[in-house]
Structure 1
């Protein structure tokens, strides 16, 4: 695997820490800025909005810039908006910085995914994708708990400052190690590449990625408040719970990277069937500490393992859109990450029970199972007609 792929993974780790750390900072932000827990949790959806909007636009712009300029520019912008977020006292401004941070993150990720895929042979593209996503899962396992600890000790703003500082070595390595190329002035035919979205396999892969990720983030955004308000654990236990989720996610992504190769094999389908069951078990056992931690590890592995497979699946079936297939995958994932926490917030705001966020995850995961079952039945009917 080329060294630069790991450099990109380091940058994704820094950005993933920012994206996921909100789960551990939700209570502190709500108290400090005098907003509800649901409003604070909606910052996760704000990030998803920026990723959805930014991924295709930034992918097209980034395709016309030298890789070094594109990657460094997006990462530098990420640092700036985190500094603004760290000093603001206005929730609306904080919400806006999350959107902008996600836009530049989307640009970086879209260019990074296409760059990583171009640096390796087709047979190793799943592994290259897994290296990038491993940066995100490592942020769950290490960066996010560290952010939660820092938030508990020094306030949530210190976590934003830490993310800005964490990006600096990644930025220096991008400047040093990025491929040196001229401005890529080839024409990116947006219309031609967007036509791949009419393909049934592309639409199916994107729909599955969106629904599975919606289930993941509906529960993940509420893990901290479930731990403190449902399980009645001390705030100091929250980083450990987030680390448990991240450890499972890291294992799941790496397992998927070695086995997926862009295909929805039987093991992936079986894992997808287990996903709603696992969320239901988590909802029913979340009042008890040991089951909460055990099932959280399992669900982290299943959710991110399946999500990684679906990312690679989107890029595989959208191979005729080499400039935008990474953006398609990013949009699909965040099309789920946007409504998931909002839906969970609407339900928990009505019922007053944070466990219902996990039931939302179970329902969304069951929807993904229904989608893939319907697809298999349709394919079987078409084969029978032939």
Structure 2
């Protein structure tokens, strides 16, 4: 797992420090979230998403079905999303900075100790969590008689996050436990064994029972969600046109929105158990409307607002969301229950069942697969 690898390389950094070798860690993100380009079109099992982690690169597919099998999406709906952070040079990154811990202003940057990282950067995820997505979709979207093609682009980032003093102290406490472990007699004896190569020393250390306990406790501390997080996103879709219906390519839909997550850690239901209360507010400029007089598309403005309750049980999550769309003094509703299962670090399955916007009361089922791929997702993990 991601944080376990961080700890492994934090430990091996002590060994490598004797040799000018700079350790790095694969900071694997655990569950790629649904693309903003999909969320804009109301295709995802959940429209209210505040992702904790974003894969360096992910591929996603979405299918939707309703009471009338001809009314919905085709199977040709794909999105790709990438996180620029992993593709550019990252200067002076370390374990503490990656976890948004920072020293007080005026501290001597040249002689920082782990105990100096006493502050928290609430905006520290803005660059690390930024992503860009592109989606190709085909469906009638409860607007057209026949399936139509769209291309969408989107971007999002975590504007701010907040961890409590208790959460931060837990991380630092586990780091102190790691430091004490690295100074223990059993570790020193492994370092002093000249018959072992560096990889063999690393293996010997990670096989120690004390290390396994520290790694498990460290994993739990790092996996705790922020008490509050706020994500912002923007996406645009373009209608590709349909000559058979005399429809030219045109503006599809533009959305700008913010989603907040209030998360409460509940270890009694799982090591990574959380109860989430989400809220969303979105401005929508919607071109997916047929003008009854001309037969062409017309643009309407709308406001979405709603809430979601989610129960997260380690790799399995259950949620229910309700969103109201105010459009031209009329309201549309989205009421969907969803389930999310993370098979492993690469594959995540999503499913939703309920009523979507413009579904005319019909029950819809949405199913999505997300496949995350890491390309060079690593940073140097020294403590300086």
Higher relative contact order (CA 8 A, sep 6+): 1
Give the alignment's TM-score, normalised by structure 1.
0.26
Structure with larger Rg: 2
TM-score, length-scaled by structure 2? 0.26
More helix by share: 1
